[in-house]
Amino acid sequence: MRLHRPVLRATVPALVVAGVAMAAWAAWLGWDQGYDVRGDGAVSGPYQVWQVAGLAGTLLAAVCAAAARGHSAAAVGGTTVGLTLAAYADWSDDASGLFIVGVGLVMVGGFVGSAVVSAVIDTLRRERPLTR
């Protein structure tokens, strides 16, 4: 069976963005599983602010790049799917089952964040078309 170009044009960018999202999760968050206990007994973590900011910056670059090339739907879908799968894989060993709430929040946040960024890029593209 032969894939048609329109299918590839829609699928490949989404898969690339999803791969970037999963790799970014692994690079920025996937290695840090320990909580920090301060001297006063307060617990924080497992992620530090710089790790989440690094993930957000990486995803911002990927979404902007895809949307600027006219692949806004792929940017939104790929980011949402990639982050959701990465969060599920990372947190699914939680015996309480509450991890699914966090995964759902990551899914909603990834969707909303990438949709807003893609909408801004789309608006800018319409106002100032890219020259090639």
Share above pLDDT 70 across residues of the chain, in percent, rounded to a whole number: 95
* 36 bridge partner residues: 44
From the list 8, 5, 130, the residue with the least C-alpha distance to 70 is 130
As a whole number, mean pLDDT of residues 84-99 equals 92
User: What is the rounded distance in angstroms from the CA atom of residue 85 to the CA atom of residue 107?
Assistant: 9
10's CB contacts (< 8 A; 6+ apart) are 73, 74
HEC letters along the chain:
CCCCHHHHHHHHHHHHHHHHHHHHHHHHHHCCCCCEECCCCCEECCCCHHHHHHHHHHHHHHHHHHHHCCCHHHHHHHHHHHHHHHHHHHHCCCCCCCHHHHHHHHHHHHHHHHHHHHHHHHHHHHHCCCCC
Summarize pLDDT for 99-117 with one digit per residue, the tens.
999 999 999 999 999 999 9
Lowest mean pLDDT among 47-51, 52-56, 91-95, 125-129: 125-129
pTM of the predicted structure, to 2 decimals: 0.84
The model's confidence at residue 56, banded by pLDDT at 50, 70 and 90, is very high
Domains of the chain by residue range:
5-127
Per-residue pLDDT, 130: 58
